[in-house]
Amino acid sequence: MIRFAKILPASLLLLFVVGASITATTPKVSAASFNKNNLIYNRVFDDYTTMTPTQINSFLNSFSGSCISPNSGFKAVNPVGYNPTDGYLYGSMATAGTVIYNAAKAYEINPRVLLTTLQKEQSLVTGGGGCSTRTISKAMGYGCPDSGGSYSYSGISLYSRNGTTYTSVSSICVNDKKKAGFTQQIIRAAWMLKYSRMRSEGKIDFAIIKGNWDNSDDLNATYSGYMTEGCFKRSKYQSSCTNYDGYATIDSTAVHMDNGATAALYRYTPHFSGNQHFDTIFLDWFGSLSSSQGGDAIIAIDDRYSDLGSAGGILGAVVDDSVNKNGDVYWKSYQNGYILWSPSTGAWESMGSIRSYWASIGYSDSKLGLPVGPIKVTADTNGQWQEYENGYIIGSPSTGYWESMGSIRDRWSALGLVAGTLGYPSGPIHDTADGIGRWQPYQNGYIVWGPSTGAWESMGGIRSYWEALGLVGGKMGYPIGPVNNTSDSIGRWQQYQNGYIIGNATTGYWESMGSIRSYWEALGLVAGKMGYPTGSIKDTSDGKGRWQSYENGYIVWGHTTGAWESMGSIRTYWSSLGLVDSKLGYPTGPIKATSDGIGQWQSYQHGYIVGKAATGYWESMGSIRSYWKSHGLVSGSYGYPTNSIQTDGSGKQTQTYQGGTINYLKGTGAWGT
C-alpha cells in the first residue's frame, strides 16, 4: 500500500531554498507527461535497498568523466554510523559509493534519489559541470538559498583525490562551514529529504540530531510554524496532527502534492523545472518512478510492525533500522524476532520457537519457503502455528516445533489437526527406510506416506505390531487406508499393501493376509465363527502351508489344498494325530454338518474327520471309509464311528461304529460285523 504523506505550504517552501542550481539541459520528461502532483512514489523514494556500495561505485565508473568515481581517485570522509544521541560517527576516507550508501541507509532513502540529486544539482555523476573543489563542496546544493551568497572556508576535510586531501574552498554558496564538503552535503541532503517526507505525514522521525551534527538551525529555518503540525487529511497519523488539504503554490501554480516524497522534492527545489529535470534523470538511469520492490518491502514491513503493536507489541523495539535484502527477500530485525517480505508472500513476522525451527532447516531456502501468514495460536491454545509457501510450522512447548506439509499435513488436517486423534507433531518429516515414502511422528502415533499409497495414520496396537513386522520394509508394506473400527466396535483394523492388521485389546493385533485372510473374510471376519485372530501367520511344520490362530479355532492353508478352518473337536482330534504331518494331511474343505444335523465332518487330503459329542470325533479313511459310505455313512446302519481305525499284527484294520464294526484286510477287502 502507499502511505500518504503530509504537505508543506507554499509560504514555507519559499523561505529556504536548498536546490537552486539546475543543470541546463532539456528535460526528457515532457510537460505533457510530467506529473507535477506526484513526482515520485513513496515506495521508490524510501527504498534504500536498491544499490550496494559496490553497485554505486560501478555506476559512477560507467561515466568516464565522473567527478566522484573510484576511477577518478575520489574519496571523502566516511559516515560510518549514526544514532540519535551521538549523531554521525566518521571513519577514514572512503569511496563516494560508500558515503552515499551509508547516508541512504541511515536515513532510509533511495541511494538513486541521492545520485539523481547529485546530477541535478552539480552534474557530478557525469562530470558535465566540472570537477572543481567549489563544485564538489556544494555537491547537493545544500545550504545554498536562491538569494545566493559567497563564502570561503578552510581547515575542513572537503574530499580527497588520488591521496591529496582538499581542505579549503572559496566563493561558495554554502552558508555554513559545517555544511561544506562532499560528505556533509550528502548526509545533510539525505536527512532533509527524508525528514521532509516523514514530517509531511505528521511524524517526527529524524527530527532531533545531536552530538557531531547540530542541525537545530536547519530545523528552525525550515520547519517553524505550520510545518511542525501539518499533515494530509488522509494520513493514517491524522489524529496526532492538524490536518491540511495538501496544496501548495509552486511557480505561481497551485499544486496538490499526492505524497510525502513529492512534498520532500518540492521542499528541496520549489520549482517545476528542477523537479522535471530530476524525473528525467531518474527515468533515464533507473527506470520507474512508481515501482520499487524494495520500497514495497519497506512499507509493508513497517505496516506489519505497526499492526503488531510496534515497539509495544510482540516483536518489541527495532534492533536495526535497516531493511536487509537477499534476492527478492527483505527483512528487518526486532528485539523478539523479524519481519520478512517478498513480492509473492507479503510481510509477516518470524519469531520464537517457530523461527528457531525454520532457521534450523534453512530459512527461505528450506523446503517450506517463506512465511505467507501470521503466527497464530492453535485451537487448544497450547501451541502456535504459521503457514509457509509449502507448508506449516506448528508445535507447543512440550512437543517442540516441526514442519507440517504435503500429503502428511492433509491427512493430519482430515484427522482434526492438534485437536484430533494424533495430537501435535513430535518430530520432523523423515524419509522411510526404503527411500520411497515419508513419515512423521505425533504425540499419539504417526502418519506414513507412500507415492502410490497415500498418507495414513499409524497408531496404537496396530502400529506396534506393524513395527514388529518391519514397518514399510516388512511383509505388509505401506498402509493404504485409515485405521477403522471393526464391525463389533470392539477392535480396529487397517489395510496395507499386502494385507491387514486387525485386533483388539484382549486378543492383540495381528496380520491378516493372503488366502487365510480371504477365507476368514468369507467366514464373516470378526463377526464370523472364528472371531479375532490371536496370533501371527506361521508356516506349517512341513513348510508347505501356513496357519493362523483365532479366538475359536484356526485357519490352515496349503499350497494345493487352499485355506480352511480348523476348530472344535475336529481340530482337537486332528491335532492328536499330528496335524499336517498326520496320516490325514491338510484339510481340503470346510467343516460341515452331518446329514442328520447332529454331528460334523471335514475332508482332508487322505480322509475325513467325523463325529458328534456323544461318540467323539474320529478319522474316516481308506477302504473302511468306502464301505461305511456304501452303507449310508452316519444315516446308515452303522451310525457314527466310536473309535479310531485300529491295525493288528496281521495288517487287519478295524473301526467300531454305533451299529457294529467295519473290517479291512488287504487282499480280502472290507466287511462288516
Asked if the structure places residue 99 within a domain, the reply is yes
CA distance 273 to 594: 115
Domain final position from 509, 531, 551: 509
Lowest mean pLDDT among 182-186, 285-289, 291-295, 590-594: 291-295
401, 354 Cβ separation under 8 angstroms = yes
Residue-level pLDDT at 33? 77
Same domain as 531, residue 438: no
Same domain as 204, residue 95: yes
Asked if the structure places residue 261 within a domain, the reply is yes
176, 165 Cβ separation under 8 angstroms = no
CA distance 178 to 300: 37
Grid cell locating 579: 496335524
CA distance 122 to 20: 10
Asked if the structure places residue 170 within a domain, the reply is yes
Domain final position from 597, 619, 641: 619
pTM of the prediction? 0.76
Phi (first) and psi of residue 382, to 5 degrees: -95, -15
State mean pLDDT over 567-596: 98
Asked if the structure places residue 4 within a domain, the reply is no
CA distance 392 to 412: 12
CA distances to 43, 124, 566 from 260, rounded to whole Å, are 10, 26, 91
2, 45 Cβ separation under 8 angstroms = no
Same domain as 309, residue 268: no
| Residue 670, beta-bridge partner list | 664
Same domain as 154, residue 235: yes
Does residue 390 have a pLDDT over 50? yes
| Other beta carbons within 10 Å of 33 | 11
CA distance 475 to 423: 29
Same domain as 409, residue 399: no
Does residue 155 have a pLDDT over 80? yes
Asked if the structure places residue 14 within a domain, the reply is yes
State mean pLDDT over 176-198: 90
Same domain as 480, residue 606: no
Q: What is the pLDDT of residues 109-152, one digit of tens each?
A: 999 999 999 999 999 999 988 999 999 999 999 988 777 789 99
384, 353 Cβ separation under 8 angstroms = yes
Same domain as 528, residue 453: no
Asked if the structure places residue 471 within a domain, the reply is yes
Same domain as 585, residue 447: no
Asked if the structure places residue 1 within a domain, the reply is no
Domain interval for residue 44:
10-281
Please give the share of the chain, as a percent, with pLDDT higher than 90.
75
Q: Which residue has the higher pLDDT, 545 or 213?
A: 545
Q: What is the pLDDT of residues 282-299, one digit of tens each?
A: 999 999 999 888 888 988
State mean pLDDT over 222-245: 47
Same domain as 337, residue 221: no
Nearest to 327 by CA among 356, 294, 360: 294
493: amino acid identity, one letter:
W
- Angle at CA 204, nearest 5°, toward 282 and 307? 85
Does residue 328 have a pLDDT over 50? yes
Same domain as 596, residue 577: yes
Element (H, E) at 485: strand 484-485
Same domain as 559, residue 601: yes
Does residue 172 have a pLDDT over 80? yes
CA distance 208 to 200: 16
Asked if the structure places residue 286 within a domain, the reply is no
Residue-level pLDDT at 3? 23
Contacting residues for 304 by C-beta, under 8 A, at least 6 apart: 339, 341, 347, 348, 349
> How many domains does the chain fold into?
5
Same domain as 420, residue 311: no
**3-state DSSP assignment of residue 462:** helix
Domain final position from 382, 404, 426: 404
